Amino acid sequence: MGKGRSVIPRKLMHRPAAPTPHRDPSRTRPPVHTASPQEGPLAPLMGYQARFPHDLDQVAFHLLLPRAARPFMAGANPMKRILLAAVLGLPTALATAQTATDFNCADCAGTPHQLFAELDAGKVVVLTWVMPCNSCVGPSLTTYNVVESYQSSHPGQVVMYLCDDYANTSCAALNNWRNAQGLTNTTTFSNAAISMSDYGSNGMPKIVVLGGSAHTVFLNVNNTVNANALQQAINNALAVTGIDGVDGALPGGLAVLPNPAGDQAWASFDMPGARRITIDLFDRSGRLLRNLHTGEAPQGPSRVALATQDLAAGTYLVRLSDGQHSSTADLTIVR
C-alpha cells in the first residue's frame, strides 16, 4: 500500500440496496369517490386530477367507468381498471351524447316542464348551462341571438332554457344575471334535475340542442359556440319535428272564440286522432309568454278554456301543436 493512502475495506465498497419498504396494512387506497348528482358519471377530469394527482387509474375509474360497474372493479388491478374503463366508458359517453335525458321540474317562474313531452310536441330546446360567469356571456349571447332569429318563423317552437350549472344559484340571482346580459326571452332553471353531466363533460357555458320524437342531441359544445353550427343544428332539429309551423297545417285548424275576448276565451280544434297537445301564447314579436294548456286531446272536435283575465289589452298569437302539425290564431284582448 502506498504511503498516505487510506484503504477502504472491501465489505464497504458496495452499499447494500435499500430494503423494500414495509407496506402498512392500515394504509389503503383513497376511498372510491361517488359522484354527486351535480357531477354525474362523466364529471370533469380536472376535478379528479386534483383529488387523485398521482393515480391515473382512479381518474379513469371515475371519468370513464359506468357507475354501475364501479363496485365490481374497486379492488381490481389498476391496469385492468384503466382498460376496462376505456372499453366500457367510451360507449357510455357516446350513447350519452346521442340522446337527451328527460327531466320533469319547474322553471324559476314555477311553470312545470317535462322535456320529452315538449320534444314530442315539436319544440326544439336549446339548453344553456351557466355559472353564471363573465366567460359565459359571449357564448350565451350568441346562442340567444340565434334562437331569437327563429321567433318570427317558428314562434315558441325554438326555445332557450338558461340553467344554473349545479343548481346552487338562486333563481333571483340567475334572473338578475340573465336580465343584465339582455337574455330576457329565456326560461331560467336552477334545478338539479337538469344536469349537464348527462351530456358528457361539463363546460362553462355548455350548450346542447335537442329535438324530435327520438329526443336527439343535435349539438353538444363546451365553453364556446359557432353561430353557423348552432343554426344548422336547430335547422336539423326542426326538420325532424314534423311541425311546419304554417298556420292552418293542423287538420280542422284552430279557432279562438270569442275574439275579441275579456277574461276567458276558448280554443276550438278538430283532432285527426287522440294525442298530446300544447297550446302556447305569444306576443306579436313571437316571444313566448306562457303555456296555456298541455294535455291529452281525444279524436274529433275539442274545446279548451284559456284563462286570459290577467292579460293586458292587445293582440296576441295562440299556437296549437299536436306533435305532428301546428296551427296559430290571433287573439285580441279588450279591457
Q: For 228-264, write each residue's pLDDT tens digit.
A: 999 999 988 887 765 444 444 566 678 888 988 998 8
d(CA 243, CA 119): 11
Contacts of 150 (CB under 8 A, 6+ apart): 157, 158, 234
Domains, the chain, ordered by start? 30-96 (no CATH), 104-239 (3.40.30.10), 254-333 (2.60.40.1930)
User: What pLDDT does 26 receive?
Assistant: 45
Is beta strand 300-307 parallel, antiparallel or unpaired with respect to 264-271? antiparallel
3-state DSSP helix/strand/coil % of the chain, to nearest 5: 30, 25, 45
DSSP character at residue 185: T
User: What pLDDT does 85 receive?
Assistant: 45
d(CA 255, CA 270): 10
User: What pLDDT does 240 receive?
Assistant: 74
Query: For residue 102, which phi and psi values (nearest 5 degrees)?
Result: -70, 150
**C-alpha cell of residue 320:** 296549437
User: What pLDDT does 50 receive?
Assistant: 41
User: What pLDDT does 36 receive?
Assistant: 36
- Asked if residue 174 lies in contact with residue 188, where contact means CB atoms within 8 angstroms, the answer is yes
Q: Where are the alpha helices (DSSP H) in 13-69?
A: 45-51, 56-63
Q: For 101-115, write each residue's pLDDT tens digit.
A: 999 999 999 988 889
User: What pLDDT does 88 receive?
Assistant: 43
Nearest CA to 121 out of 1, 291, 315 is that of 291
The Cα angle at residue 177 between residues 171 and 179, in degrees rounded to 5: 100
Residues of the chain with pLDDT under 70: 1-97, 241-252, 284-287, 323-324
